[in-house]
Amino acid sequence: MILALLAGIGATLVVQPAGPIRTLTDALARAAPGDHIIVRAGTYHEATIVVRVPVEISGEGDPVFVGGAYPTMEIRADSVIVRGLTFEGVTPSMTEDRAAILVSDAQGCRLEANTIRNGFFGIYLSRTNHCLVRGNRVVARDGPGAGRGNGIHLFRSRGITILDNLVEGHRDGIYLEFSDATTVQGNTVKENRRYGLHFMRSDSCAYAGNVFTGNGAGAAVMYSRWVKVEGNTFSRNWGSAAYGLLLKEISDGEIRDNDFLENTVALYLDDSNRNRISGNRFEANGWAVRLLASASDNRFEHNSFLGNTFDVATNSRTSSSIFSGNWWDRYRGYDLDRDGRGDIPFRPVRLFSLVVEQNSPVLILLRSPFVDLLDTAERFLPLLTPETLVDRSPLMKAPAR
């Protein structure tokens, strides 16, 4: 019994530039399952470091591993822990997805508090399950888009938790494909070239408490079911094709308690059905909600709309989606029975927004008296705006958060 306990403790190996073990590759060749490898301060130049045994690797004093035209570290064992290391530089490739840390066909890894600078791909998990990626700083190189991979990339992985990371300057900040039951929480994802978060065909995922700011687009959520997007901030995603949150073929999801601030389009729904959008704040966006004809049976409740150019826009005269009990800063109704809801309906689709859908250059007339007259006429005699996109019980006060 005592021998079994001692066998499970594991040895400690120390890597340092002037020590008996001078490379991490050498330490791994000596390591047994359960060992702890400490890497001390220094700059290390090694070919791909392959981890084939379950060990803990931790840095002391900011050790730096300089990469090249290959993955810097490749993890092929279960239950590996890597924390406190710095990875500098991975040469971009048009044919290979090179990464500073590549995890392949493994379970239960933990990648914590590492720094990745000027990589191609930062952290890449392929066919990897039940791993934790927490507290890493992943910042990409300056340069053209072809020289940038994704910050944190998941492919055919399951049960991954991506928590409290900073991801900046990549092509996509966080990318998921065929990766179910993933949690993305508490991350700051900013100034990435294309999307802050981009995921496809990944069911039952949750995205909570993240900040997506200054990206080409905040988040693109595509071809998935049962997605929860809660308590995030989508801000300053500006451009001709920029969105705070794009939903493309998303069904039975929940979009709740998010802040959409200063985006070209805050929320875009295309062929997305039976989603519940509640408790969100849409403020100072170009378009708060763009709801295409292909999106059906979505429900908008207890959201706040403040200072948007267009609160709701659509390309259809009919819709099966429902707006009920939202607060609109442009609502001019009254509440005679004092139940907190307006006694007359509110039509959030401006007539001018329908004109813009057909001919976008007319946006130049947005601030003209003609547009104000058009909106006033439509408000008193609604003929062209969609009859079904009406909030019949608008709130008189913005809901508390």
How far apart (Å, rounded) are the C-alpha atoms in residues 328 and 306? 7
State the pLDDT confidence band at 141, using cuts at 50, 70 and 90.
confident
pLDDT in tens, 91-133: 999 889 899 999 999 999 999 999 999 989 999 999 999 999 9
Taking phi over 0 as left and psi of -120 to 50 as alpha, with beta for the rest, 25 belongs to alpha
> Greatest CA separation found in the chain?
87
How far apart (Å, rounded) are the C-alpha atoms in residues 235 and 263? 6
Confidence at residue 269, expressed as pLDDT on a 0 to 100 scale = 97
Decide: helix, strand or coil at residue 89. Answer: coil
CB-based contacts of 70, cutoff 8 Å, min separation 6:
47, 48, 91, 98
Q: Residue 309 is encoded by which pair of tokens?
A: 């150019």
Structural element, H or E, at residue 52: none
pLDDT in tens, 309-338: 999 998 877 789 999 999 999 999 999 999
How far apart (Å, rounded) are the C-alpha atoms in residues 194 and 249? 20
The CATH class, in words, for 1-202 is mainly beta
Report which of 69, 78, 128 is spatially closest to residue 99, judged by C-alpha positions: 69
Share of the chain above pLDDT 70, in %: 88
Report which of 244, 164, 247 is spatially closest to residue 208, judged by C-alpha positions: 164
Mean pLDDT of the chain: 91
The letter for the amino acid at 291 is L
CB-based contacts of 53, cutoff 8 Å, min separation 6:
28, 31, 32, 33, 35, 77
How far apart (Å, rounded) are the C-alpha atoms in residues 333 and 323? 16
CB 111 within 8 A of CB 133: yes
Arithmetic mean of pLDDT, 274-302: 96
Task: Quote the DSSP letter at residue 71.
Answer: -
Q: Residue 356 is encoded by which pair of tokens?
A: 């813009």
pLDDT in tens, 28-52: 999 999 999 999 999 999 999 999 9
Rounded to 5 degrees, what are φ and ψ at 98?
Answer: -75, 140
State the pLDDT confidence band at 1, using cuts at 50, 70 and 90.
very low
What are the Cα distances from residue 348, in Å, to 72, 228, 264?
A: 53, 25, 18
| 3-state helix vs strand vs coil in the chain, percent to 5 | 10, 40, 45
pLDDT in tens, 201-226: 999 999 999 999 999 999 999 999 99
